[in-house]
């Protein structure tokens, strides 16, 4: 089923995308802009399966790590392009207190709860509830107690591609009792093209942040803010990722096996999306600008990709083959009163708007 559109406007095409092992049908919606940028979204995990665009010579390539078949996202999960929730990133010890009650969450990262737990939003089938010109909205209901979280949560994610190729992702959630919510997309990018043999470590990254939230041995923030000035975490004026990736003189690089850290954005939380990161591949000329309403962005260099994941076009993914830039609230915020609160109450819904803007530097 295709949504009708003018020739100079973004379009949407809905189609079957196979089945999971249990027989659940998966659907896909492909959004295409007049400038050649296109995005494909799967109903399983509300997953951004593909994001493609031209390089400076007009050659189109998919810039996302992932799988060709929808069933592989269920059978070999690694968060490629998925919607993560209820709580993106880590909650230390898998516990938090709210209004005097302690909640114990599903543990799936040593002693932590990661990206919503063992069966987070990325491992569930979403309902496609609307397909319009250049956009798709998916919905999910998370029951009270799901993965240990309080409150029934009604969630939607909308992907909307503008005519000039900017993909806006809007996360919204409403609860019937106090809870915590922190949602984002876990796309892993290689602007040279997925599977490029040179990987993504030659990309130039800019993050407008004066500080990171340093982590302990379990990758949980200590609660402090560490200035980036004079360190390999200083991306304020742009730097090539590989320059600091293996600098063992910085204990944060050692504990993270590279970059796997939250940057406290100078802008803080904002009513409208503002720049969180800019990524550029000097070879292809592709540029990705990530904007968000949230106060932080997690920068991750694929440190746990170890060659055991066989992705699109039978490419074997290894560390450095792509990077994630995940706008969000700070990790472990429910346990860190100094961090922006992730609390959501009845009648006061959650909303996070982020934008992936793919373009070409001339």
CA-to-CA distance for 19 and 245, rounded, in angstroms? Answer: 39
CB 344 within 8 A of CB 173: yes
Q: Using pLDDT thresholds of 50, 70 and 90, give the confidence band for residue 7.
A: low
pLDDT at site 203: 98
One of 3.40.50.300, 3.40.640.10, 3.40.30.10, 2.70.98.10 is the CATH number of 2-360, namely 2.70.98.10
pLDDT at site 94: 98
Query: Which residues, including other chains, have CB under 8 Å from residue 133's CB and lie 6 or more apart?
Result: 3, 4, 5, 9, 10, 11, 12
3-state SS assignment for residue 70: helix
pLDDT tens for each residue of 193-226:
999 999 999 999 999 999 999 999 999 999 999 9
pLDDT tens for each residue of 36-65:
999 999 999 999 999 999 999 999 999 999
If residue 245 lies in a helix (H) or strand (E), which one and from where to where?
Answer: helix 242-245
**Helix, strand, coil percent content, the chain, rounded in steps of 5:** 10, 45, 45
Domain map (residue ranges) of the chain: 2-360
The DSSP letter of residue 178 is: -
Query: Which residues, including other chains, have CB under 8 Å from residue 25's CB and lie 6 or more apart?
Result: 16, 18, 19
3-state SS assignment for residue 313: helix
Q: Using pLDDT thresholds of 50, 70 and 90, give the confidence band for residue 107.
A: very high
* Structure tokens belonging to residue 165: 């190729």
Residue in 113, 124, 65, 56 with CA at minimum distance from that of residue 89: 113
Tokens 């942040």 correspond to 209
- Arithmetic mean of pLDDT, 118-136: 97
pLDDT over threshold 50, residue 3: no
Catalytic residues: 186, 326
Give the pTM: 0.96
Residues in the chain: 362
Output the 3-class SS for 250-270. CHHHHHHCCCEEEEEECCCCC
pLDDT over threshold 50, residue 68: yes
């Amino acid at each position: 089923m295709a949504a009708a559109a003018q020739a100079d406007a973004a379009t949407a095409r809905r189609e079957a995308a196979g089945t999971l092992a249990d027989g659940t049908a998966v659907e896909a919606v492909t959004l295409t802009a007049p400038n050649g940028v296109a995005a494909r979204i799967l109903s399983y995990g509300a997953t951004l399966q593909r994001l493609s665009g031209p390089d400076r010579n007009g050659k189109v390539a998919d810039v996302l790590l992932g799988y060709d078949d929808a069933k592989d996202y269920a059978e070999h999960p690694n968060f490629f392009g998925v919607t993560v929730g209820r709580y993106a990133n880590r909650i230390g010890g898998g516990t938090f207190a709210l209004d005097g009650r302690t909640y114990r969450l599903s543990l799936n990262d040593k002693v932590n709860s990661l990206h919503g737990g063992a069966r987070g939003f990325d491992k569930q089938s979403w309902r496609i509830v609307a397909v319009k010109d250049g956009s798709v909205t998916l919905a999910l209901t998370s029951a009270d107690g799901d993965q240990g979280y309080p409150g029934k949560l009604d969630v939607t994610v909308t992907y909307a591609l503008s005519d000039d190729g900017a993909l806006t992702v809007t996360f919204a959630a409403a609860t019937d009792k106090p809870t915590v919510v922190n949602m984002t997309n876990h796309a892993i990018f290689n602007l040279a093209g997925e599977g490029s043999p040179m990987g993504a470590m030659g990309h130039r990254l800019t993050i407008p942040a004066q500080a990171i939230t340093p982590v302990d041995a379990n990758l949980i923030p200590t609660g402090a803010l560490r200035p980036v000035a004079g360190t390999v975490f200083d991306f304020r004026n742009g730097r090539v990722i590989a320059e600091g990736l293996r600098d063992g003189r910085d204990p944060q690089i050692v504990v993270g096996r590279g970059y796997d850290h939250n940057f406290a954005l100078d802008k803080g939380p904002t009513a409208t999306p503002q720049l969180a990161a800019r990524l550029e591949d000097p070879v292809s000329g592709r540029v990705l600008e990530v904007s968000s309403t949230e106060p932080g962005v997690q920068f991750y260099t694929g440190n746990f990709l170890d060659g055991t994941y066989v992705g699109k076009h039978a490419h074997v993914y290894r560390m450095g083959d792509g990077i994630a830039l995940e706008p969000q609230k700070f990790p472990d915020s429910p346990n860190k009163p100094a961090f922006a609160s992730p609390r959501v109450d009845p009648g006061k819904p959650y909303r996070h708007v982020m934008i992936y803007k793919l373009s070409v530097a001339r």
